[in-house]
Structure 1
């Protein structure tokens, strides 16, 4: 005589009750699903805007005087690089508001751009 055992059906697409509860709790509290970054939000970082760059010899730099023009590797109207601690994070354009300069972000750098900026 053999016994028939009814095992529960396994469905990999169904979330566990705990996972469903956690998702609902996050949505109710409007918490982001990622890691808690609150401990690092007040750490100062160096934000810089790079119009362009060039390489020059010491002799060329010493020859600079008031009114000298240094040719950069960018064309007029190209976006500036927005860097945090030297790492490219975005590109933007210069804007003026109430007599002060600012930058309007027009593109957020992807992972490949960030990697290339380190090389």
Structure 2
């Protein structure tokens, strides 16, 4: 066998030993995690007690600086790539939304409200006309 072949075999053996060690470490971590699993009712009691003792503003302060993406959707359409490539400045794309129809307001892709477009100081905005309740959001997800 050449020196190069022996070197490659040595690297493979080291790699396999590292792989085996990593697998053993993962198995021991999983075994420890299973041993420390608590019943769900115990976790919920702890969570409920902590939530009752903490004030609402402190809980909200933890999430107030998390960025989310707010999108106002005028409408949607499906278009073939052939037609998409033919679009040019001044082209009109027909959307499924009707003029005067409420616009959908989405946060991270989830519908939370509907509203109407307004113009204030030459800038577009949206006036919320209907807020989707949490129960309604859950119902829409289940469809």
- Structure 2 stretches lacking a partner, 5+ long: 1-54
Structure possessing the higher relative contact order (Cα contacts under 8 Å, 6 or more residues apart): 1
| Matched residue, 1:93 | 116
Greater strand content: 1
| Matched residue, 2:128 | 105
CA drift of 1:72 comes to: 0.6
| Matched residue, 2:70 | 47
Greater helix content: 2
- What RMSD over aligned residues (CA atoms) do the two structures have, in Å? 2.7
TM-score, normalised relative to structure 2? 0.54
Which of 1 and 2 has greater Rg? 2
CA drift of 1:116 comes to: 3.1
| Matched residue, 2:84 | 61
| Matched residue, 1:78 | 101
What is the distance in 2 between the residues matched to 1:48 and 1:118? 22
CA drift of 1:74 comes to: 1.1
TM-score, normalised relative to structure 1? 0.64
